[in-house]
Amino acid sequence: MSSLVTTASLTPFVTTPIVLTIAGSDSGGGAGIQADIKAISATGGYACSVITALTAQNTQAVTGIYPINAEFVEQQLDAVFSDLNVIAVKVGMLSDSNIIHSVAKKIKQYTPKYLVVDPVMVATSGDLLLHSSAIDSLKSELLPLADVITPNLPEAAALIGCSVPKNEDEMIAMIDELRQLGAKSVLLKGGHLETDDNSTDLLILADNVERLSTERIKTRNTHGTGCTLSSAIASYLAQGHELSAAVKRGKYYITQAIAHADELNIGQGHGPVNHFFVLNTQGQS
């Protein structure tokens, strides 16, 4: 009697790089949970999610925020961690101190291998997404748990209580204070220096700083860039890349997503980046 060999029996076991995004929902689809899931999927990870807030949002403005009850956030986290082998976690919009406390508590309980924190405070439209009273909770409870935090210049300034940098020298002057926030590393993003020809980020490690610079792309379609970059970094970490390599790959991915953003025609304000630029390019060939 011959044995039956199935396709499954010939397939080697591969650990699926599962990435959990903990963030708010963007009804316009360009940022938040929606951007995170797109970026994680496009870069080779499997995305699962815990929603911390609902927003009424489009490419022009945030017109409403509805925080999710902290107990239900914890229920979502328990559901995901008790079943899925989450390797990396990306944290975005948390809205208030109660949710920050709940997320920090569950991160300590389940100890995922990697934690990427994007300290979301202000939307591309300029709308406030994190209550000022919650910044202290973010700094004391969550940032010290992170492998990398990814603030833009206004966020970094708010975290350490200084004015927003106007040039790269002023970015460099922030390094010591950003290290004191307690995260293992900081990716200080220089995208807001709009008069510079290049977009330069500083990867601040414990004992050195890596300068990552790419040519600045002229487009108004930059909605969700921070969410997208931090999610891509988490995805690459989950796939086994070292931190520096994961950040460089994430930087390349977001640069290409921005470069292809004008191929989309979404909304009347700051449109989203093109998360699936590779598939869209293939479809046009």
For 200-216, the pLDDT digits (tens) are: 999 999 999 999 999 99
Q: Is residue 185's pLDDT more than 50?
A: yes
Q: What is the pLDDT of residue 194?
A: 73
Per the annotation, the verdict on 226 as an active-site residue is: yes
Which of 124, 222, 228, 255 does the annotation list as catalytic? 222
3-state secondary structure of 91: strand
- CB count, 10 Å around CB of 10? 7
> Average pLDDT for residues 31-55, to the nearest whole number?
97
Which of 226, 248, 250, 271 does the annotation list as catalytic? 226
Per-residue pLDDT band for 196 (boundaries 50, 70, 90) equals confident
Per the annotation, the verdict on 92 as an active-site residue is: no
Taking only the tens place, the pLDDT of each residue in 219-269 is 999 999 999 999 999 999 999 999 999 999 999 999 999 999 999 999 999
Q: Is residue 131's pLDDT more than 90?
A: no
pTM, entire model: 0.92
Which of 190, 224, 250, 271 does the annotation list as catalytic? 224
Q: What ranges do the domains of the chain cover?
A: 15-284
- Distance CA(107)–CA(102), nearest Å, equals 9
Per-residue pLDDT band for 3 (boundaries 50, 70, 90) equals very low
Q: Which of 58-67, 87-96, 275-284 has the lowest mean pLDDT?
A: 275-284
Which of 43, 52, 150, 225 does the annotation list as catalytic? 225
- Distance CA(62)–CA(83), nearest Å, equals 34
> Average pLDDT for residues 177-187, to the nearest whole number?
98
CATH code for 15-284? 3.40.1190.20
Per the annotation, the verdict on 161 as an active-site residue is: no
Q: Is residue 27's pLDDT more than 90?
A: yes
Per the annotation, the verdict on 29 as an active-site residue is: no
Question: Listing from the earlier edge strand, what are the strands of the sheet with 186-188?
Answer: 62-67, 46-57, 18-26, 86-91, 114-117, 148-149, 186-188, 198-204, 209-215
